[in-house]
Amino acid sequence: MTLALYARRKGWALEGVTIRLRHSRIHAEDCADCETKVGRVDRIDREILLAGKLGEDQRSRLLEIADKCPVHRTLTSEIKIDTSLE
């Protein structure tokens, strides 16, 4: 949704976006760029397919915007969950 809104505002010919995600748990020691060094780390592999007549500059910018969407920012930030029974 974030990519579509951005492209629409810019007047770009984005016709559709498909996102594919794969989730796995890997050993932290196998992750060179992870802060956590022990135990396991959740890993999400993301593939983005952009449909439409877009230039390379536009495609690159949309990839940058994908990292700024609210869902991506939530998943890459520290998360604290408070739970209560009602």
Query: Domain of 36: which CATH number?
Result: 3.30.300.20
| Enclosing domain of residue 42 | 2-76
pLDDT recorded at residue 70 = 92
Q: Report if residue 60 sits inside a domain.
A: yes
Express each pLDDT in 14-54 by its tens digit. Answer: 999 999 999 998 887 777 777 777 788 888 999 999 999 99
Q: Report if residue 17 sits inside a domain.
A: yes
Express each pLDDT in 53-82 by its tens digit. Answer: 999 999 999 999 999 999 999 888 888 889
pLDDT recorded at residue 12 = 98
Q: Which residues of 23-40 are buried (b: 16+ CB within 10 A; e: fewer)?
A: eeeeeeeeeeeeeeeeee
Q: Report if residue 27 sits inside a domain.
A: yes
pLDDT recorded at residue 17 = 96
Q: Report if residue 85 sits inside a domain.
A: no
Q: Report if residue 83 sits inside a domain.
A: no
Q: Report if residue 81 sits inside a domain.
A: no
Q: Report if residue 35 sits inside a domain.
A: yes
* Cα-Cα end-to-end distance for the chain: 33
pLDDT recorded at residue 50 = 97
Domain total in the chain: 1
